[in-house]
Amino acid sequence: MVKGLSPQEARARLNLIGRFLYDARAIDLWERDTKTLPWIFRRLRRKYRKFAQETIAPLALKSDSDPHQIDVKEIFLKAAREGLETELMPYPIGTGNPIALAKSFLLGPILKAEEFCAACAGIGLALLAHDLGIAPLFISGDPKATFKWMRRIYGEILNGEPAIAAFAITEPEAGSDAEETLGASRARVGCKAQRVKGGWVLNGRKVFISNGRVAKWITLFAALEGEGMESWTCFLLDKSMKGLSVGRSERKMGQRAADATELVLEDVFVPEDRVIGPVRGGWAINRNVLNYSRPVVGAIALGIARGAFERCLEFCHKHRLNDRPLVSYRYVQLELADMLIKIQAMRAMVWQAARYKIPFQTAGSAAKVFCSDMAWEVCNQAMKLMEENGFLHCHGIEKAARDARLTQIYEGTNQINRLAVVEGQLNAEFNIPDFYED
């Protein structure tokens, strides 16, 4: 019926140059996008996908329905053996590719997050939160943190130890306040550090800490006694420290393979050399870690959406409605196209964030907000398209929706991140003189 009219047939009538300029090849978008990357990232992307498909995907549904049956440390060690948990530093400290790190510090973690979370966002988060826990060590710019502590932690991992790290900022009375300027200025700080001979004594509680239960190392932020968040200081703790205990692990709606756990500090003595960066430098380190981590959260959301799309597409091919495959209905094609468009836009956004040599607040928050909102929409579209099959656990779509919902909350709610966009461009574009006078 359409003989001679399809793009492929029409293209065939052109001469060599015309054909060269008219790309109508049947290549999936994953491959097309991969080909646009520098070769080192192409290789990395394929490596991440292979690991995700072989190791993470088979555990996805079980890790959601029965997270306690999943040994996160074992998965972590598998990833570590592939060099995937020591990538933030090159040899001799870690396994990161120096060319890749020099080209774009964020692109590697972004590619990893998409692939891991397309397979399972819960396991993906557990593996990625380790990088978040490590991030303050080099973002602080403190040579001791990098050459002493990072070397030690990565050394343990390379020796086969599950030396998982966690990043601890959220407190029971300070959730969003730990992630925004105005909130921080008025926050009720709960976690306090008091100077003593040879170091510091820490007291307080941290909540919702990803990997809090399984982590050995924790980068934790506390205010100095009698001061507010402007005095936040970053400390490197390890679980063997006396007075540091693990409280309750939350029962979450999604991303269930990664624990979100309370940490309780009761007179924890932290030696002086465990201070990361300068005393009172913690707030800056925290803010900058968020600049680096928010595009990765965007990539987590992107991965979740892509995973949902792929599973939905597979379902639409297999499932029949009135003796026709669902995918042959035009309304289904329209919906699938809309989902794919959103996923492409998400990827463009996070890859763009990775193109900046140094990540910054606006790019990170914008990518995080856009991608998490889009992921929620894509998962909801998939659920609606699949009708009652959409809410059945076996198809993995409802899990994706539950997983996606968290990306709108953590690393600062999307409302906080919108404010961060304004603040990020405050002096360059918005020019709002009373922004800090709420």
Partner 1 sequence: MNIVEAFARTAKIFAEKEVSQGKAPQVLLAKVQELGFFDKDYGIWSLKNLGETALASYALLKELAKEDASFALMVHSVAINNQLGTYVALERLAVHLNGKNDVINLPAGEVLTDFTAFELVPRMGLKRCRLIRIEGGKTKEKIERSKALLFTKIHIAGICAVALGSAEKALSIAKRYSEERYQGGKVIKEHHAVKILIGEALKNIRISSMALERALENLRETPMTDLLSLWEHVRPACANTVSNCMQVLGGYGYMEDFGIEERLRDALTLRGLPPTGKRLLILLEEEVYG
| Site residues (vs partner 1, CB under 8 A) | 65, 170, 173-177, 180, 182-183, 185-188, 207-208, 250-254, 260, 331-332, 334-335, 376, 380-381, 383-388, 390-394, 398, 401-402, 405-406, 408-410, 413-416, 418-419, 438
Q: How far is the CB of 409 from partner 1 (least distance, A)?
A: 6
Give me the least distance between CB of 86 and partner 1, in Å please.
Answer: 29
Question: Which residue, 175 or 307, is less far from partner 1 as judged by CB?
Answer: 175
Least CB distance from residue 431 to partner 1, whole Å? 19
CA distance 255 to 232: 29
Cα atoms in the 13 Å half-sphere on the side-chain side of 92: 3
Residue closer to partner 1 by CB (options 55, 365) is 365
Rounded to whole angstroms, the Cα distance separating 285 from 222 reads: 12
State the nearest-atom distance from the C-beta of 390 to partner 1, in Å: 5
What is the spatial distance between Cα 30 and Cα 306, in angstroms, rounded to a whole number? 10
Pick the closer one to partner 1 by CB: 87 or 398.
Answer: 398
Q: Which of 434, 370, 356 is nearest to 407 (CA)?
A: 370
Least CB distance to partner 1 at residue 415 (A):
4
Task: Work out how close the CB of 260 gets to partner 1 at its nearest, in angstroms, rounded to a whole number.
Answer: 8
Provide CB contacts within 8 A for 16, sequence distance 6+.
Answer: none
Q: Which residue, 123, 218, 124, is CA-closest to 169?
A: 218
Q: How far is the CB of 116 from partner 1 (least distance, A)?
A: 20
Q: Which residues pair with 166 in a beta bridge?
A: 218
Cβ atoms within 10 A of the Cβ of 30, count? 17
Could you say which DSSP state residue 274 is in? G
Place of tokens 């468009």: 341
- Rank residues 57 and 182 by Cβ distance to partner 1 and give the closer one: 182
CB 168 within 8 A of CB 209: yes
**Is the Cβ–Cβ distance between 219 and 165 less than 8 Å?**
yes
Which is closer to partner 1, CB of 25 or CB of 393?
393
- CA 166, 415, 281, 195 dihedral sign is negative
Residue with tokens 């574009």: 429
Which residue, 140 or 408, is less far from partner 1 as judged by CB?
Answer: 408
Closer Cβ to partner 1, 87 or 179, answer by number: 179
Candidates 173, 129, 100, 143; CA nearest to 289 is: 129
